[in-house]
Amino acid sequence: MSDSLLNPFMESAIALSIKALRSGRGGPYGAVVVRDGEIIGRGMNEVTSLNDPTAHAEMTAIRQACDHIGDWSLEGCELYTSCEPCPMCMGAVYWARLDRVYYGNTKEVAARFGFNSQIFYDELALPRDQRQIPMEPLMADERSRFLNEWETQADKAEY
């Protein structure tokens, strides 16, 4: 797909970005999930209006697409988003098994406008004991009990 060609799905993502911005619902981000040439999930950033730090455009579009098809897996689908996804949204992309991501602005361009997610990339690359938010394991004797039970569960849904 050529970077310079107009794309109706990216146009939809950008339109959602503008809607989020102009409605005051959140930052200027929009995303759509597409399957077989049809938009099955739409999202815009609604972090500030919902008081939900996970209400990023990509997360909302993924949730809506999963609800639309009645499955947590979005294999066979693509994500079009107005900006390169942050680490949280990329995690959702991988968990949802999306086939491809198309994006507008890079994370570097977004950072120039005050949307700097580089700290999250940097923090995740550090060893746990060097991160700004301390992370400590607890309950060594108890913490694996639920995983052991999961392993033996005959009717578990693999993912």
Q: Which residues are catalytic?
A: 58
Cα–Cα distance between 68 and 60 in angstroms, integer?
Answer: 12
Cα–Cα distance between 54 and 51 in angstroms, integer?
Answer: 9
Chain centroid offset of residue 5 CA: 25
CB-count exposure of residue 112 (10 Å: 0-12, 13-18, 19+): exposed
**What is residue 155's three-state secondary structure?**
coil
